[in-house]
Amino acid sequence: MAHQLVIVLDFGGQYNQLIARRVRECGVYCEVKSYKTPIAELKALNPKGIIFTGGPNSVYDEKSPHITKDIFDLHIPILGICYGAQLMAYTLGGEVSACQTSEYGKTDTHYDTSSVLFGGIHLPETASSWMSHTDYVSKIPDGFRITAHTEDCPAAAFENAERKLYAVQFHPEVNHTFAGQGMIDSFVKNVCGCVGDWTMAGYAKTAISEIREKVGNGKVLLALSGGVDSSVAAALLAKAVGSQLTCIFVDHGFMRKNEGDEVEAAFKDSGMNFIRVNAKEQFMSKLRGVSDPETKRKAIGEEFIRVFEQEAKKIGKVDYLVQGTIYPDVIESGLGDAAVIKSHHNVGGLPDYVDFKEIIEPLRMLFKDEVRKLGTELGLSPVLVWRQPFPGPGLAIRIIGDITDEKLEILQDADFIFREEIAKARLDRDINQYFAVLTNMRSVGVMGDARTYDYTIALRAVTTSDFMTADFAKIPYDVLAVAANRIVNEVKSVNRIVYDVTTKPPATIEWE
């Protein structure tokens, strides 16, 4: 089944993937494309609507991203956001100027609720929006009308309803904009005419059919980590190709405490072909003395592939390798003109040569919450669906600096205690990801009236819906105190605990 599609054209803004998430929350399928995508290619995709994203540039700078005027003649509804709004105005004959007073953060905005974009969503005539701009539309193009303004921005929103062209200077995709999700819903449904046919039930049916057609009678090897992404991929592949699938769980030695045994126990009675490979020494030999995080990720990514190739030869000719790659992995590893935040071992960390006919990534276009919904739809155990996210490189990227057996044991014990205390406090379903990091810092302490000079453990816990943005979890002080006290007393070579209170952005969820 071909789903209705909305395209997000990426002009380099920080919220671009969040826009796609918001569109999908409306039940409408959405993909992010570069602004450099040829107009003919966009037209061939037959989108119901297009959204121009924000960006850090000025439209009157010739070096900034621009787009041909022809896109406005496709008769496809377009919504411009921030830079995208300015670009629409500038391209169609309006004017964009530097702000006399820039706007950042929550801003009182006055709306014309007769606009289809703002009507019917319980939006008062004055409400807060989230602004972030140093330029503004000083003159709207002919044929447009202003539909919102602020004290310092005379055209906070404008539209040409006849041509179905809409623009907002603020960011409706962020939670700080009152009724922002309603505005996006109004655009994709009331303007674009989308019916909201994007569901995980439909996705599962389509994915299973496509996998069967691609694989045919071939053999499939799945890289199973035991995390939610690879577990859902396994459930999907099992329904698609059954006994043609073999799941390889590579225990690289950087698992959380007791986790290798837990993963094996979870899958041994699943009916899937499950093989556990203990490869700690093989991975450690590649990482001894390595401290750079990107080098770690790439070394681990390559070694994973080498192990899978070795195991595939034992099974017989295997045509396809399956990975649980999800959309945030792709984005952070560099999508189009996007910056590489960090190379995920299963994306940017892959070696140049892979001895498989093809790599299949059935979750590649899904966000984390969509993966969980898909897992539930496939009947996967809630224990697996809600398992704590764990990076493919494991604790190797939660040990800052070089890796040793001693450091690994310290971190496994500290992380186990932190997770145990979170579970005891019944916060494990409220916090989306939580873990310990062994920093490469030693500090002076005192234990038993004696001086110590030991490691600092950092605790990290975040709340997020899509793992593209995240806030630090507001864990009660008494829970943190118990966890910190236990770690210092029960784990050797640790004398200090700190709690990371940084959001994403500017930080990432992981430290490396």
Residue 160 and residue 78 in contact, taking contact as beta carbons nearer than 8 Å: no
Q: Is the peptide bond between 506 and the residue preceding it cis, with omega within 30 degrees of 0? A: yes
Residue 222 and residue 245 in contact, taking contact as beta carbons nearer than 8 Å: yes
- The Cβ of residue 305 has, within 10 Å, a number of other Cβ atoms equal to 22
List of long-range contacts for 37-45, beta carbons under 8 Å, 24+ apart: 37/9, 39/68, 39/70, 39/71, 39/74, 42/7, 42/71, 42/74, 43/74, 45/5, 45/7
From the candidates 82, 192, 194, 247, give the one annotated as an active-site residue: 82
User: What does R_g of the chain's alpha carbons equal in angstroms?
Assistant: 25
459: helix, strand or coil: strand
Active site residue 173: yes
Amino acid occupying residue 16: N
From the candidates 171, 252, 344, 345, give the one annotated as an active-site residue: 171
Both structure tokens of 293: 């995080």
Residue 51 and residue 23 in contact, taking contact as beta carbons nearer than 8 Å: yes
Residue 31 and residue 7 in contact, taking contact as beta carbons nearer than 8 Å: yes
Distance between CA atoms of residues 236 and 145, nearest Å: 49
Residue 231 and residue 224 in contact, taking contact as beta carbons nearer than 8 Å: yes
Both structure tokens of 391: 């990076």
From the candidates 159, 173, 303, 510, give the one annotated as an active-site residue: 173
Active site residue 194: no
Residues 6+ apart with CB under 8 A from 295: none
Active site residue 99: no
Residue 155 and residue 169 in contact, taking contact as beta carbons nearer than 8 Å: yes
Residue 16 and residue 32 in contact, taking contact as beta carbons nearer than 8 Å: yes
Distance between CA atoms of residues 478 and 6, nearest Å: 47
- Active-site residues, by number, are 82, 171, 173
